[in-house]
Amino acid sequence: MYKALMTTDRYADAVILTKDMPIRERERFEGMVIFHVTVKAAIKDAVKIMEAVESHCR
């Protein structure tokens, strides 16, 4: 299902990936800023993570 969502067109400047699970086909994210976070951090500190991503991409 994820292949249908990820195309060769680039819609994002950054992606947030989990450290807890392996990510297949990482080449899909070439040229993007990658933020690695744990699932626990993404749940607990979602606002802080999004603020960090937004400030980095400005």
More confident position, 11 or 15? 15
Domain segments of the chain as ranges: 2-57
User: What are the pLDDT digits (tens) for 29-57?
Assistant: 888 889 999 999 999 999 999 999 999 88
Q: Classify residue 11 by its DSSP letter.
A: -
Q: Per-residue confidence at 10, pLDDT binned at 50, 70, 90?
A: low
Looking at residue 30, what is its pLDDT?
86
Asked if residues 31 and 10 have their Cβ atoms less than 8 Å apart, the reply is yes
Looking at residue 7, what is its pLDDT?
52
Conformational region of residue 31, where left means phi above 0, alpha means psi within -120 to 50, and beta covers everything else = left
The chain-wide mean pLDDT, for the chain, equals 82
